[in-house]
């Protein structure tokens, strides 16, 4: 059993980490007050952007797979890193639907 747990530690999902903020990111696309930007980054960006700040326990399998799924699901619903594209898609959907 211990050997299985050790072997599983070598299988990890890829991390959601980006080094740059794109022009589509809400922080660049919108003129937000500093406090709102801070709240978004500290409270929402880990699950709703292309850059997650992972907690220490994300290094442990199977927790890392749970977190990976959670982040992907959060980004599927709302991704602040793709904010500008989101509104374009929404407008096109409204026009052509």
Distance CA 27, CA 29 (A): 6
How many domains does the chain fold into? 1
Range of the domain at 14: 2-96
> Would you place residue 3 in the very low, low, confident or very high pLDDT band (cuts 50, 70, 90)?
confident
Q: pLDDT digit string (tens) for 45-73?
A: 999 999 999 999 999 999 999 999 999 99
| pTM higher than 0.85 | no
Distance CA 77, CA 96 (A): 21
Distance CA 21, CA 91 (A): 24
> Would you place residue 97 in the very low, low, confident or very high pLDDT band (cuts 50, 70, 90)?
low
Q: Quote the pLDDT of residue 9.
A: 82
Q: Quote the pLDDT of residue 21.
A: 87
């Amino acid at each position: 059993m211990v050997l299985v747990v050790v072997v599983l530690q070598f299988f990890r999902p890829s991390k959601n980490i980006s080094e740059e903020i794109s022009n589509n990111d809400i922080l660049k696309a919108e003129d937000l007050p500093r406090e709102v930007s801070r709240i978004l980054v500290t409270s929402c960006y880990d699950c709703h952007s292309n850059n997650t700040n992972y907690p220490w326990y994300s290094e442990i399998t199977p927790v890392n797979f749970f977190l990976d799924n959670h982040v992907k699901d959060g980004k599927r619903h709302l991704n602040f890193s793709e904010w500008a594209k989101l509104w374009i898609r929404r407008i096109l959907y409204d026009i052509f639907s």
